[in-house]
Amino acid sequence: MSEQKAEQKKLIFSGIQPTGTFTLGNYIGAIRNWKPLQEEYRCIYSVVDEHAITVRIEPAKLRQKTLEAYAQLLACGIDLDKSLLFIQSHVPTHAQLSWVLNCSAQFGELSRMTQFKDKSQKHPDDINAGLFDYPVLMAADILVYNADLVPVGADQMQHLELARTIARRFNGRYGDTFTVPEGYVAPVGAKVMSLQEPAKKMSKSDENPNAVILILDDKDTIIRKFKRAVTDSETEIVFREGKDGINNLLTIYSAVTGKSIPDAEKEFAGQGYGTFKIAVGEAVADHLAPVREEYAKLIADKAYLKDCYTRCGAEALRYSQRILNKVYKKVGFVASEIR
């Protein structure tokens, strides 16, 4: 594809924290959608390790999780011939722009961020300035590329709206500089619930390991977890109100097989819950098998991973530096010749 044609495509930015192995919920709801986006958009993806240190984490563990997250994203289908995938801390323009944007963000706006309130309650002994301010860094992640679109879930809409507010405020003060980003809601991406408490979202922080499917779980582990999935006291495999467990399993089965929920209901009509749960587990395990296999190859080849994130980081830096230079000029900084 020519550079001119690529430039005509809208740009999507998305970042993901290195918090461990992705869950089936992460995968179905968001990450697997990143692969098809590459065909329609210019895509810039980042493992946002700077965001990860707003809560305490051992340095060695952060390095390990960052590399694992990078390898998982490649294994899930990000194509470096079509997209950029880099490590946030390798591209200093994010942090540099964040400081400038801090001066266009209001204290009251940040204090109203729901996630700041939630994380402050979870970590009352470490309510640090980074925890308070990281939505501005998140805005910088997006605006430093002038992204048109940002894939968001409901829990991130408040942060995206702050980024939009900051962009408009900066543009109003200094002239047209930033693209005001829009939220991108994927046309597919079902919400996956806990296997043990199907009224709540699947989360890797769940203390019950049987509640969560991790994308790197082996086949036996996946099937065992599905066998233990909570259903109900009825016997009919149908999607309807009051059947949270069965609804969740039908949603998952539909997502990994491509079959509609009505077709899945017909397929399992008259069958028992036990048979159904095993079938869902097998379908999930088979769907994730290529991801597990590719990840195993990638994580074993540290030299290849280093080449990938170094090349992508350099390109992301070149792209974002142009926008940062424009911002610096707008706010009145003396141009630097230091390289």
Active-site residues: which are they? 119, 201, 204
- Among residues 97, 84, 110, 114, which one has the least CA distance to residue 50? 97
Long-range contacts of 176-183 (CB under 8 A, 24+ apart): 177/326, 177/327, 177/330, 178/143, 178/146, 179/143, 179/146, 179/147, 179/148, 181/13, 181/142, 181/143, 181/147, 181/148, 181/149, 181/150, 182/148, 182/149, 182/150, 183/149, 183/150, 183/151, 183/152, 183/157
> Reduced to 3 DSSP states, what percent helix, strand and coil does the chain have, rounded to the nearest 5?
60, 10, 35
Going edge to edge, which strands form the sheet with 149-151? 83-87, 42-47, 11-16, 149-151, 182-184
Q: Which residue, 16, 6, 5, is CA-closest to 46?
A: 16
Burial code of 86-106, b = ≥16 C-beta within 10 A, e = fewer?
A: bbbbbbebbebbbebbeebbe
How far apart CA 215 and CA 26 sit, in angstroms, is: 9
Take residue 41 and report the two structure tokens written for it: 């958009």
**Distance (Å, whole) CA 109 – CA 168:** 14
- Give residue 308's identity as a one-letter amino acid code: C
Instruction: Give the Cα separation of 219 and 207 in Å (integer).
Output: 21
Q: Can you list the alpha helix ranges (DSSP code H) found in 41-181?
A: 49-52, 59-75, 93-102, 107-111, 114-122, 129-143, 157-174
